[in-house]
Structure 1
Amino acid sequence: MHSEESLLNGGFETYSSIDAIDDSKTHTYLSELNHLLRGSAPLAVTFVLQYFTSLTSTISAGKLGAAELAACSLAVSTFNVTGLAVFQGIVTSLDTLCSQSYGSGNIHGVGLYFQRCTLIMFSVMIPLTVFWCNSGFVLGYFIDDPSLVSMSQTFLRWHTIGIPGLIFFESGKRFLQAQHIFHAGTYVLALAVPLNLLLNWILVWNKGTSVGFVGIPIAIAITYWSISLLILAYVVFIDGMKCWGGLSKQALVNWSAMLRLAVPGVVMVIAEFVAFEISIFLAAKFGTEAIAAQSIASNLAAFLFQIPFAYSVVISTRIGHYIGMGNIAGAKLDCQIFFTSAPFVGVANFCIFYFGRFALAKLFTTDEQILRIAAGLNVLAGINQLADAFNVLGTGVLRGQGRQTIGSILNSIAFYLIAIPLGYVLAFDLHFGLSGLWYGLILGVVFLAAGQCVAIYVSDWSSIVVVSQKMHDGA
């Protein structure tokens, strides 16, 4: 426990051995930036590989036919909003709690938070499983094709088998990231991606062994369990056990602190998921080519999102460590790096979108009309990256500070009150067409980025550290 005087001075006292941050060294802007970039590289590869496994399902469904592709897309979209966004929102609490606990020297607290978060996600999984297994009842209100609804429900039922594995992997990644072990996920997914391709070949593509459409969710479920077992093996046999204090009954109680971070984390993640799903739904009103082009731009945006997101996770972990140590000066240095490096990240992604607007679209289609529309949307998606870089990295800072509530409020305003309504008005009432949806999204993201930057700039760091200490003292 630090004295308030040491906190306000930005110093820290003696801690147990922590490899991630060496108190004996003077951390300069360049040394800190180097550390963040070295941590981001393996994480970016991890997120790209994880995203690639989801693309495999779409490719497999497309090989079976148009109906299978539509059913797979509907099922995956349903799961992304009702499941993946929920779980990813909940584990944002670990970005705060695990990194701060590790930074404070309470290394076994990292294992306790991991257990508590995993149990919370399992508790949430129970009602969600009931929904997925009976999702046809809800989907039938929105989709007129009974066959499509039935196939989507079947997909979700088989897919549910693998959800416990996904939960373990998502919380396990944070358990390791808090210890500055960023490359474990890369090693795990380097093995899982070929396995996923093999499973799709056996269960879907190969006529001799294919089980048809259900082979796609079965392959996903097996992959989920494989990555969870591989991450466990990494911890047990390679690195990460130092933060495991054993199973604890404490994981069954005192969920309130974690839920105070998890609930706004869920709101924050779901807001963006829903915004993109609604934009694809609205794009359908402009015709088949429009929805295809919108899907291309959205998929590319999701893919390139992995790079700044990896960087934001490392920033979040690093700031969390500094806050746990009471080192306000170190946390402020990382915020300085955030403000100065976000423009470069945004410009880099913009250049990829702008100069590759035709080449990237050709990866998805050869239809000339779709290519023309998609190329125009890619330019707008690139412009969006300029502000979204501040948004993504700023979210990482807020997670490290434990201020997910601010992020959830700003996200809700940006997407539900600005991006979606304004996009609708521009697209349909003012006749800007498909581009209008992106204009609304860009303006919403600009507001979100500006709001987060202001919130970070005026941070009361001494208060943040004190709140962190009280939260961990009650754990």
Structure 2
Amino acid sequence: MVHEQVEGETEDCRLIRACGSYGACPCDEMGGNEEDISKVTNYSEEFVQVFRKSLPLALTLLLQNLISSVSLLFVGRLGSLVLGSVTLANVIFNATTVVFLGLATCLDTLCPQAFGAGNYSLVGLYFQRCVAISAVVSIPISSVWIFSKPLLNLVAKDPDLINISSQYLKCMVGCIPGYIVFECGKKYMQAQGDFHTAQTVLFIGFPFSILANYVFILNSPLGYLGAPLASSLTFALMGTIMVCVMLRSRRCWHEFHWKNVMRGWEPLIRLAVPGIIMIEAEFLAFESLTVLAARFETTELAAQAVATSIQSISFQIPFAVSIAASNRISTHVGRGKIRDCQIATKATLFYMGPAVSTLNFVGLLSGRYFVSSLFTSDLSVVRRAAKLLFVIAVNQIWDVYNVLGAGCLRAQGRQSVGGYLNLVAYYVFGMPLAVYLGFGLDWQAFGFWVGLGFGIFTLAIGEIYCIYISDWPLIMLQAELLHGTA
């Protein structure tokens, strides 16, 4: 009975009906956009919208990944010791900066919902609060980097390697401000349907990163310490450009006031913590298998490294679709359109899902030998990596649904469901089976991917089931209450 009443209210009404003290009236700022908001959607429309937004997103994610790899290409010229040290430092860097990515996932839910509801300046306020929360979280993360030697001693024995890695991590602290602003800024712009600004910023940042690394690593006395300096300057540039764009287009900007920014954190933290768990659980599962592969022979370890790198690249396609779909569904939630939410969700899972999984499956399966040969000229490594990529290609059939399902859950504000499912799927099913197959049955890295694939399959089934039983009227009510506390 309660749900019937809620549905009656939310089916044709937007959330946050009153513009409130933070939001300008949508009629004042958007005028003609009222027709777009009330426009009836359909499956083909949702498919086209998600597909169109996914293209620049995929390129954005790929460029951002390449920026992280540029330093390794230049540092590798300084010798194997330096390359190994920087690689180890980057593992810790990536494992900890994932926290910032997880924090920013709260904006995947909040910003599009606020924008869809017409409460535009609330979008800007959410951005400012997320940056503030990330800045607070950066304090313990920076401390880990600055005092990283005890941690490095647990995973390495070479004192020279530990010293270089710790020095590198100390200097990487300078990356944090620009990194936070850029990540949160991406979500802020995407909530407004702008998926090109981040891409443009990366088109500037990527060549700048190459130039900065070349100058500071190979043409200055800094040596390997030129890499963190180049990274810091690159992220500072990207963050600065992002802020300039945001201030130039002030439709969703909220005037900065300390009191407003430093309060109302609970809704963001409530979504951010399970968002961190979702991303960190998956990241650590994949990274830990690479670390465990060090117990195998060199050829097996090299093949695992190649396969992991290729898998990471292929992941960007469904991840881009997931972000675009999450943004689209969240906007419908903000507008209070239950039917549109259902159509967008079904279009994502039943139309985009098969298309993307087929694309990744066919691409990895047919190109596994060729792509592996781009990473190494050792034929034994290529053959072994191709065997691993066969399993990874098969895993794409359900991994794509895992990624898209996570996006749908973020749109609904149900990150906590995704967090629990990730922990169970990876650490109750996937990882134990992977270790058993890899070491117990001596399938080595092949067993790792088979076991992990089972965990991914379990996760995909769990996410799709939770989405299938979604109580949309309750989701609408919770979203309205969530924004009401802002």
TM-score by length of 1: 0.95
Aligned residue in 1 for 2:92: 78
Residue in structure 1 matching 2:297, options 268, 272, 287: 287
How does 1:320-339 map onto structure 2 within 5 Å?
Answer: 320-339=330-349
What's the counterpart of residue 136 of structure 1?
149
Q: 256, 261, 264: which one pairs with 1:254?
A: 264
2:138 is aligned to 125
Give 3-state SS (helix, strand or coil) of 1:363's partner: helix
Q: Tell me, in whole angstroms, the C-alpha distance in 1 between the residues paired with 2:287 and 2:269.
A: 26
Alignment of 1:338-353 (within 5 A): 338-340=348-350, 341-353=352-364
Of 148, 152, 159, the residue aligned with 1:146 is: 159
- In 2 relative to 1, CA 24–295 (structure 1 residues): closer, same or farther, beyond 3 Å? same
RMSD value, Cα: 1.6
**Which piece of structure 1 moves more, 209-218 or 109-118?**
209-218
SS of the aligned residue for 1:253 comes to: coil
Q: Which amino acid aligns with 1:175?
A: Y
Q: Is 1:91 matched up with 2:104?
A: yes
Preserved CA contact (<8 Å) 1:312 1:397: yes
In 1, the alpha carbon distance for the partners of 2:459 and 2:82 equals 37
TM-fit CA distance, 1:210: 5.1
Q: Hey, what's the Cα distance between the residues in 2 that align with 1:336 and 1:419?
A: 27
Name the counterpart of 1:181.
Answer: 194
> Aligned AA for 2:359?
A
| One-letter identity of the residue aligned with 1:11 | D
Cα deviation digits, residues 178-233 of structure 1 (max 9, x gap): 11111000100001111001011111234xx3521111111111111011011112
Task: Find the counterpart in structure 1 of residue 480 from structure 2.
Answer: 469
Counterpart of 1:51 in structure 2 is 65
Instruction: State the 1:7 CA deviation.
Output: 4.7
Report the Cα distance in structure 1 between the residues aligned to 2:141 and 2:437, rounded to whole angstroms.
35
Structure 2: gaps (5+ residues): 18-24
In structure 2, the CA distance between the partners of 1:9 and 1:157, relative to structure 1 (3 Å rule), is closer
Structure 1 residues not aligned, in runs of 5+: none
- Is the CA contact (8 Å cut-off) linking 1:315 and 1:397 kept in structure 2? yes
Query: Which range moves more in the overlay, 399-408 or 353-362?
Result: 353-362
Q: 1:394 aligns with which of 400, 405, 411?
A: 405
Residue 24 of structure 1 deviates from its aligned partner by 3.9
Q: Partner letter of residue 12 of structure 1? A: C
Q: Is the 8 A contact 1:162 1:221 kept in 2?
A: yes
Give secondary structure in 1 for the equivalent of 2:251: helix
Work out whether residues 85 and 266 of structure 1, in 8 Å CA contact, stay in contact via their aligned partners in 2.
yes
Give the CA deviation at 1:65. Answer: 1.4
1:358 aligns with 2:350: no
Q: Distance in 1 between matches of 2:178 and 2:243?
A: 11
Contact preservation (8 Å) 2:37, 2:335: no
TM-score between both structures, scaled by the size of structure 2: 0.93
Runs of 4+ in 1 over 6 A off after TM superposition: none
Identity across the alignment (%):
37
Aligned to 1:439: 450
Query: 2:157 & 2:222 partners in 1: Cα distance?
Result: 27
**Alignment pair present for 1:263 and 2:273:** yes
Q: Which residue of 2 aligns with 1:35?
A: 49
- Specify which of 370, 374, 378 is matched with residue 367 of structure 1: 378
Please give the secondary structure, in 2, of the residue aligned with 1:27.
coil
Give the letter for the 1:410 counterpart.
Answer: L
Distance 1:118 1:273, change over 3 A: same
- Equivalent residue for 1:318? 328
Q: Deviations over 1:420-455 (max 9, x none)?
A: 111000111122222000011100000000000000
Number of residues of Structure 1 aligned to a counterpart in Structure 2: 468
Deviations 1:371-412 (A, max 9, x none): 111111111111121111001111110111000000000001
Cα deviation, 1:145-187, whole Å, max 9, x if unaligned, reads 1111111111111111111110000011111111111100010
Matched, 1:277 2:287: yes
| Structure 2 counterpart of 1:79, one-letter code | F
Preserved CA contact (<8 Å) 2:10 2:476: no
Q: Distance in 2 between matches of 1:421 and 1:244?
A: 47
Question: What is the rounded CA distance, in whole Å, between the counterparts of 1:7 and 1:266 in structure 2?
Answer: 34
Kept in 1, the 8 Å contact 2:178–2:237? The answer is yes
Whole-Å separation in 1 of the counterparts to 2:294 and 2:34: 48
1:25-58 Cα deviation digits (max 9, x unpaired): 2212112211111111111111111111111122
**Residues 109 and 327 in structure 2, CA contact (< 8 A), matched pair in contact too:** yes
- Structure 2: how far apart are the matches of 1:216 and 1:382? 34
Contact 2:6 2:474 in 1 (8 A): no
Pairing 1:451–2:462 present? yes
Code of the residue aligned with 1:315 in structure 2: it is A
AA aligned opposite 2:155: F
Range with bigger deviation, 60-69 or 20-29? 20-29
Q: Could you tell me how far 1:62 is from its partner in structure 2?
A: 1.6
Letter of the aligned partner of 1:273 in structure 2? F
